[in-house]
Amino acid sequence: MTQTFSFDEAVFRELGSELGADDLADLLNVFLADTAKKLIRIEIEDQARAVIKREAHSMKSSAATFGFRVLSQTARQLEAGAESMSQPDLQASISELRQAFEATRAFADRNLLCDASGAVA
Amino acid sequence: MTAIEHRTEELRGRLLVVEDDLVQRTIIGSIGAKLGYDTMIASTFEIASQMLRDEKFDMMTLDLSLGERDGVELLRLIAALKLNAMPIVIVSGCEERVRNTIKRVAAALNLSLTTSLAKPLNIDKLRAALKRPALLSAAAGSQAQAPTISRDRIVAALRQKEFLVELQPKIDLRTNEICGAEALARWLTPEFGMVSPAIFVPLVEEFGLMSELTHAVCDAAVATSRGLIQQRPDFTVAVNVSASDLNDLTLPERIEGILRTYQVAPEALIVEVTESIAMSDVDRAMDVVSRLRLKGMGAAIDDFGTGFSSLSALAKLPFSELKIDRSFAGTCANDKDMMKIVEASIALAKAFGMKVVGEGVDNQPTLSALRAAGCDIGQGYLFAPALGIRQFSHLMKQWDPRAAGRFPAFRPPSRTTSLAYG
């Protein structure tokens, strides 16, 4: 089973030092909510491949901004293959992305959001 | 559309963030507000275009992918709205080649694209880009109103020897010594002051006086640099000829006559023909260039890369020097595609035994990149702009090869007349 979560804390801290703890917590919430919506769009049955590609592209960048490595890499793979993958491969890639997101959300809830100021101090 | 108010004492004006991704625009908006901008956010092409039409902004960040639409369409709209002075920072997850092409699109539209940032965003770079709107592209210069100039006025100018030249140094990149200069035509008039060649050359063409002007400029170039050539026998001076000059098959004899008048060796003169002119009539170019070479003069293919050279034509034309256009040489340090063109041009020139001159050496990274690529000679503002003969002689005297290019080796004294450097 592939790794579902990896976190680059230095990247997260740097973002926090630029934005401040409050803005960072707000932004993280925005990210989690927005990414959840994007995933739902990606998971719609027979979703257009161009839409999947665009959402994955955007998820790749945003996840990297926070230091969520696996989520960013999984999104990148989906973006790269969105137009060429076979249907089963595409489904596998999407469910991998779902797992990576759930792991990220669980980690964020546990470690980053309850005490965002502590996490970035 | 969302608005975020500035959160500092210092005010920087209004920032427009065009970004379809919620997380990215939240970050950019937050950094903008912290830097002192009143930030407006447009999440779609349509909102952005409406805001650009209705309101004024001091800075803009632009994501290149905006859902179904793209940032290039918005760049075109910005040009159409004549917002050329507004600094634009590109923020994009596209690959570097695409971002570089878009930089060129912005330059062609004469927009003030300052920085192109890759995603994921590096916050330090974003802050720096929003703080310092140091323009990468040539800022849109104010176009002076052209004075009305008649044919008789130009005939009189030729008779009264009002056309003169300024010399821009060419630096040997192996030794850092000044090895020659390009002579650039200037027209000093009592009534208009210094008239830019951008104004007088088209008029001279229109009035059919080009061969007279070329003669006057060659004469001025040889007369002006005669002293320098006597001091330094390896010094060369380059002059430009136009398309109509190539129609005159006696051009080599006329130039030879000028050299004889001033008792200057033909080896000291290089005649520059632009690539597009040489390629527009290869047979004539072969005739003229080969006879210039037979008489001992040098011949350079100028603005190389901007025209369409056929390789077989290039092989037939015995040029001694190839000048890589500034649009490639001047940007090769931070544009990998341009670097490849520069490297290919240098390899081509060397294969044909030509010396290579890089134009547009305006900064240290460009110099380093050209030197590393094996370019023989450099020319550009890093060394010096075109100078009058007195300033040029002064530059030659105080030139320190160890300092050349490591910092602006020479700052010309400020001038009272405004002068468009060619």
Domains and CATH numbers, chain A: 9-116 (1.20.120)
Higher pLDDT, A37 or B149: A37
% of residues, chain A, pLDDT over 90: 59
- Among A16-25, B14-23, B128-137, the minimum mean pLDDT is found in B128-137
Does residue B137 surpass a pLDDT of 60? Answer: no
- At B48-104, the pLDDT tens digits run 999 999 989 999 999 987 777 788 889 989 999 999 889 999 998 877 778 888 888
Give the pLDDT score at B216.
Answer: 95
Confidence of residue A53 (pLDDT cuts 50, 70, 90): very high
- At B141-180, the pLDDT tens digits run 333 344 578 899 999 999 989 999 999 999 999 999 999 9
Give the pLDDT score at B313.
Answer: 82
Give the pLDDT score at B10.
Answer: 65
- At B278-337, the pLDDT tens digits run 888 888 888 999 999 998 999 999 989 887 777 888 888 899 999 999 888 888 998 888
Two structure tokens written together for B44? 């779609």
In this complex, do A57 and B127 lie within 8 Å of one another by their Cβ atoms? no
Report the residue of chain B nearest A66, measured CA to CA. Answer: B120
The CATH number for B171-184+226-398, chosen from 3.40.50.300, 3.40.50.1950, 3.90.79.10, 3.20.20.450, is 3.20.20.450
Interface membership of B69 toward A (CB under 8 Å): no
Rounded Cα distance, A78 and B108, in Å: 35
Report the residue of chain B nearest A63, measured CA to CA. Answer: B120
- At B353-395, the pLDDT tens digits run 999 999 999 999 999 999 999 999 999 999 999 999 999 999 9
In this complex, do A58 and B120 lie within 8 Å of one another by their Cβ atoms? no
Q: Tokens 């050539």 correspond to what residue?
A: B229
Residue among B22, B30, B119 whose CB faces A19 most closely: B30
Give the pLDDT score at A115.
Answer: 52
Contacts of A19 in chain B (CB under 8 A): 27, 30-31, 34
Rounded Cα distance, B19 and B52, in Å: 14
Residue from B35, B3, B36 nearest B17 by CA: B3
Domains B2-131 and B171-184+226-398 share a fold: no
Rounded Cα distance, A100 and A97, in Å: 5
Interface residue ranges in chain A relative to chain B, Cβ cutoff 8 Å: 14-15, 18-19, 23, 26-27, 30-31, 34, 54, 57-58, 60-62, 64-65, 72
Confidence of residue A20 (pLDDT cuts 50, 70, 90): confident
Interface membership of B27 toward A (CB under 8 Å): yes
Burial B197-236 (b: 16+ CB within 10 A, else e): bebbbebbeebebbbbbbbbbbbbbbbbbbebbeeeeebb
The yes or no reply on domain B2-131 and CATH 3.40.50.2300 is yes
How confident is the prediction for chain B on average, in pLDDT?
85
Identify the bridge partners of residue B358 per DSSP, sorted by sequence position. Answer: B324, B378
Distance between A20 CA and the closest CA of chain B, angstroms: 10
Q: What is the DSSP string of B262-283?
A: HT--GGGEEEEEEHHHHHHTHH
Contacts of B31 in chain A (CB under 8 A): 18-19
In this complex, do A62 and B127 lie within 8 Å of one another by their Cβ atoms? no
Q: What is the DSSP string of B69-85?
A: EEHHHHHHHHHHTT-TT
pTM check: above 0.80: no
Contacts of B24 in chain A (CB under 8 A): 58, 61-62, 65
The structural domains of chain B, with segments of one domain joined by +, span 2-131, 171-184+226-398
In this complex, do B21 and A62 lie within 8 Å of one another by their Cβ atoms? yes
Element holding B18 (H helix, E strand): strand B13-18
Confidence of residue B1 (pLDDT cuts 50, 70, 90): low
Report the residue of chain A nearest B92, measured CA to CA. Answer: A61
Residue from B422, B248, B57 nearest B42 by CA: B57
Give the pLDDT score at A114.
Answer: 62
Rounded Cα distance, B180 and B231, in Å: 12
